[in-house]
Amino acid sequence: MRSITILTLLALPALPWSAEVRSPDGDIRFSIEVDDVGAPYYEVDYRGETVTSQSRLGMRFQEQQPFDSGFRIVATHDDGNDTSWEQPWGERRTVVDRHNELLVEFATMDRPQRRFNVRVRVSDDGLGFRYEVPKQSGYSTVNIVDELTEFHLPGDATAWWIPGRRYNRYEYLYNTTDLEEIQTAHTPMTVRLLSGIHLSIHEAALVDYAAFVLDQRRPNVFQADLTPWSDGVRVKTKTPFHTPWRTIQIAPDAVGLLNSDLILNLNEPNVLGDVSWVKPGKYVGIWWGMHIGANTWGSGPTHGASTGETKKYIDFAAKHGIEGVLVEGWNSGWDGDWYSNGDVFSFTEAYPDFDLPELTAYAARKGVELIGHHETSGSITNYEKQMGDAYDLYESHGVHKVKTGYVADAGELKRVDDRGVAHYEWHDGQFAVNHHLRAVKEAAKRRISLNPHEPVKDTGLRRTYPNWITREGARGQEYNAWGEPPNPPEHTAILPYTRMLSGPMDFTPGVFDLTFKGADSPFRVQTTLAKQLALYVVLYSPIQMAADLPENYEQKPEAFQFIVDVPADWEESIALAGEVGDFVVFARKERGGEDWYLGALTDETARRLSIPLSFLDSDATRVAEIYRDGDSAHWKDDPYDIVIEERELSREDVLELALAAGGGAAIRFRMAE
């Protein structure tokens, strides 16, 4: 149903005007108004409780009159949608998009008139709104110097957050604090109100614009602080343009956030057409050896990426039905201080001991594919100059996935302009945002999927570009090799409720040698073995690494069987239970099959869970292959105590699970024969 209200100027009342829209279930109400100086504001409530109170809207420009006051609402339009769409790969095949929409047109009375619109979509799991700026009279080029969008949250709330615009990009341990302790935070930022309502603030469809961090300008008032270019301008654009969606996911409890598709729904449909060449799957790689110091990226006696070593990985992958083999350190540039100078890298010249044509042919004979690697160290211009040739090379050898890397301090991405002058940009400014999409589009032309590390945050663009298959963008397993400190047990009990709300993460689970430097070393993995298996189900990524060295898997073949079995692509995913930072339980059904999988993990606290199996979608009896913590398991004292057992269970049963401190459980439910 569609209705249009044109409000004539003659009928303008003295009081500010407002408009509102509710979610289809009526629980969320978004209202928008101008105050007595014509400044636009919005408010959100959920089941009658305020979620954001009077929060400002608008933007300011370098040259033109700002969009901050003097406005009237001159028209509103209602619309709505109730459809579903199919993901080529994903957490679920079918995504339902049911929302109500409101478009509000703002204009000034002065001349030349300023105009902008706010489009709002409200679904049962949250809302998104964006600015749509039409052509203005007298100018088209604009430099945005400030976006005024605020999120004015209730006090007395708890937040899970990482700092914004600090040197280590998104790779921080999460803070759990009162709201007021935050200065700046990256999104998604997760908030629990006193009533138990959970919120996540983020953005969707970040295209040709700067990302924002949340800046607490006044107590509980967070401004969307756009990351600037090196010259201080936030966004360089032309009218007409629209911003990304500013999103608030809302749920009555923590688990509700995990079952939301809001971010994907606010993105545009696939523009790449047939993407059957984008293939989810598992991979091993020449990787962990470098992180624990057993191998080097650069040349020398322990160079990881040698032809011989790569063949060992290919053989191992082929033997266990693992689709991919990542090789880092194959290309010239790794000798010396690559971290501080990415211009050293060639993306087409291999080290002499790495034979790309021979290895790709060898892998193909065994039904395995190499996964390419481009570490840019943040030298974007050096990479962009070579990108086409580099993807051509991989395409010509049948390499269809490339992991990229942007290791450089935040604010240190090197951009060389047409005059040869170097500028240093943020990982989440408009320049980086546009670079990533250029790379994704170039890769798509060669049927290559990308997995960027040190990326820009995910805003759901995998829907539009399904070859943007996964990314890092948080503290991953690598920190367990050398992080000071390594990831504590609660880290993976926070990620699902924060970083993972934005999309898949290449966390690289599956380290089996948890004490590679000895149990007393600070450098160790702070999980049990069973929890490493649980990560495959809990931390969604359509390409999942088996991160450890093959010899460590060969020593524990029974536990490794779960990694062999677990798929990376799902028909359905259901978060069953959990609390942010404490524990989480996911059930997922394999795509195109009958098996269900369950992953449960806990923080440093051991706990017992009762899990009804009613998610199983038929009455059939299943054989549950259970990988769980043993009675004496503890991440610190006894991480290897694992019980692997089979039980016959059905949807009528309630499973009692005991998770050790820092522990977890992984289960495959297969049909009983």
Active site residues: 478
- Rg of the chain over Cα atoms, rounded to whole angstroms, equals 25
Torsion of CA 518, 521, 524, 528, to 10 degrees: 70
| Stretch 422-481 residues interacting with Ca ion (CB under 5 A) | 453
C-alpha–C-alpha distance, residues 100 and 311, integer Å: 55
Task: Provide the minimum distance between the beta carbon of 162 and Ca ion in the complex, in angstroms, as a whole number.
Answer: 14
Task: Provide the minimum distance between the beta carbon of 382 and ligand NOJ in the complex, in angstroms, as a whole number.
Answer: 15
Q: Which does 33 bind (CB under 5 to 8 A by kind): ligand NOJ, Ca ion, none?
A: none
* The residue type at 407: V
> Do 254 and 200 meet the contact criterion of CB atoms below 8 Å apart?
no
**What's the token pair of residue 140?**
């088209």
Q: Does 412 bind ligand NOJ (CB under 6 A)?
A: no
**What's the token pair of residue 284?**
């091993």
Torsion of CA 597, 601, 607, 611, to 10 degrees: -20
Q: Which does 261 bind (CB under 5 to 8 A by kind): ligand NOJ, Ca ion, none?
A: none
Q: CB-wise, 212 or 345, nearer to ligand NOJ?
A: 345
Q: Does 375 bind ligand NOJ (CB under 6 A)?
A: yes
**Total residues contacting Ca ion (rule CB under 5 A)?**
1
Task: Provide the minimum distance between the beta carbon of 471 and Ca ion in the complex, in angstroms, as a whole number.
Answer: 10
Q: CB-wise, 303 or 453, nearer to Ca ion?
A: 453
Q: Does 405 bind ligand NOJ (CB under 6 A)?
A: yes
> Do 39 and 66 meet the contact criterion of CB atoms below 8 Å apart?
no
> Do 312 and 554 meet the contact criterion of CB atoms below 8 Å apart?
no
Q: CB-wise, 71 or 426, nearer to ligand NOJ?
A: 426
Q: If you search the block for the tokens 């395409």, which residue do you land on?
A: 395
Q: Which of 328, 425, 490, 629 binds ligand NOJ (CB under 6 A)?
A: 328
Binding mask 460-489 for ligand NOJ (x = CB under 6 A): ------------x-----x-----------
Q: CB-wise, 373 or 589, nearer to ligand NOJ?
A: 373
Q: If you search the block for the tokens 């997995």, which residue do you land on?
A: 451
Q: Which of 453, 524, 628, 668 binds ligand NOJ (CB under 6 A)?
A: 453
Evaluated on CA atoms 218, 223, 227, 230, the torsion sign reads: negative
Task: Provide the minimum distance between the beta carbon of 666 and ligand NOJ in the complex, in angstroms, as a whole number.
Answer: 23
98 forms beta bridges with: 82
Q: Which does 375 bind (CB under 5 to 8 A by kind): ligand NOJ, Ca ion, none?
A: ligand NOJ
Binding mask 359-398 for Ca ion (x = CB under 5 A): ----------------------------------------
Q: CB-wise, 26 or 293, nearer to ligand NOJ?
A: 293
Q: Which residue, among 471, 476, 454, 345, has the nearest Cα to 408 in the 3D structure? A: 454
449: three-class secondary structure by DSSP: strand
Contacts of 557 (CB under 8 A, 6+ apart): none
Q: Which does 412 bind (CB under 5 to 8 A by kind): ligand NOJ, Ca ion, none?
A: none
> Do 383 and 347 meet the contact criterion of CB atoms below 8 Å apart?
yes
Q: Does 458 bind ligand NOJ (CB under 6 A)?
A: no
**Total residues contacting ligand NOJ (rule CB under 6 A)?**
8
Neighbours of 343 (CB within 10 A): 15
626 forms beta bridges with: 645, 667
Q: Which does 405 bind (CB under 5 to 8 A by kind): ligand NOJ, Ca ion, none?
A: ligand NOJ
Q: Does 107 bind ligand NOJ (CB under 6 A)?
A: no
Q: Which of 407, 606, 623, 643 binds ligand NOJ (CB under 6 A)?
A: 407
Q: Which residue, among 449, 407, 403, 443, has the nearest Cα to 286 in the 3D structure? A: 403
Binding mask 277-306 for ligand NOJ (x = CB under 6 A): ----------x-------------------
Q: CB-wise, 119 or 453, nearer to ligand NOJ?
A: 453
Whether a cis peptide bond, with omega within 30° of 0, leads into 452 is: no
Q: CB-wise, 116 or 287, nearer to ligand NOJ?
A: 287
Q: CB-wise, 233 or 432, nearer to ligand NOJ?
A: 432
Q: If you search the block for the tokens 């032809």, which residue do you land on?
A: 307
> Do 633 and 563 meet the contact criterion of CB atoms below 8 Å apart?
no
Task: Burial-class residue 310 by CB neighbours within 10 Å (0-12, 13-18, 19+).
Answer: buried
Which residues contact Ca ion (rule: CB under 5 A)?
453
Which residues contact ligand NOJ (rule: CB under 6 A)?
287, 328, 375, 405, 407, 453, 472, 478
